[in-house]
């Protein structure tokens, strides 16, 4: 397809180039989460550029990519924890387990979410800002 200036325009190539440019920028000065996302993105740029080019929503892209690269949609930002302020009841069990592990403790005999919430509250004095 030709653009107004007479140059060849390939939407997929443009999307791939944009992904690569953003990843190059993130590798230099990005957060660890963004670097991890780029680690998963770069090998499958074409698989991502096709749905991006057709304006497919991110949740649908993740659903499609789960078959080939399920890790990419599981990358999450770390939970922001403020001593005495964080409502542990709003967090997922997986996040609560990570908080407990980051504090260097375990949760013996924890069976449900309320047990993990209680343990997080008990170990709140062990929280250090990273």
> Same structural domain for residues 57 and 15?
yes
Query: Do residue 54 and residue 102 come from a single domain?
Result: no
Average pLDDT over residues 72-79: 73
Which residues have CB under 8 Å from 78's CB, separation 6+?
A: 33
pLDDT digits (tens, 9 = 90+) for 22-73: 889 988 887 888 888 888 888 888 888 888 888 888 888 888 887 777 777 7
Q: Is 111 strand, coil or helix?
A: coil
Per-residue confidence band for 6, with pLDDT thresholds at 50, 70 and 90: very low
Is residue 122 situated within a structural domain? yes
Range of the domain at 24: 11-74
Q: Is residue 105 part of a domain?
A: yes
Is residue 24 assigned to a domain? yes
- Collapsed DSSP state (helix, strand, coil) of residue 107: coil
**What pLDDT, on the 0 to 100 scale, is given for residue 27?**
84
What is the pTM for the complete model shown? 0.53
Count up the domains in the chain and report the number.
Answer: 2
Is 1 inside a domain boundary?
no
The CA distance from 16 to 33, in Å, is: 20
* 56 in the same domain as 28: yes
> Does residue 23 lie in a domain region?
yes
Task: Report pLDDT for 125.
Answer: 81
């Amino acid at each position: 397809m030709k653009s107004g200036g007479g140059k060849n325009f390939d939407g997929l190539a443009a999307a791939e180039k944009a992904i690569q440019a953003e990843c190059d920028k993130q590798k230099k000065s990005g957060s660890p989460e963004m670097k991890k996302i780029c680690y998963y993105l770069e090998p499958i740029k074409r698989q991502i550029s096709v749905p991006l080019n057709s304006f497919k929503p991110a949740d649908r892209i993740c659903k499609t990519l789960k078959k080939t690269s399920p890790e990419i949609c599981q990358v999450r930002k770390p939970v922001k924890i403020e001593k005495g302020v964080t409502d542990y009841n709003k967090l997922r069990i997986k996040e609560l387990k990570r908080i407990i592990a980051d504090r260097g403790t375990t949760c013996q005999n924890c069976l449900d979410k309320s047990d993990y919430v209680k343990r997080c509250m008990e170990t709140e004095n062990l929280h250090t800002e990273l």
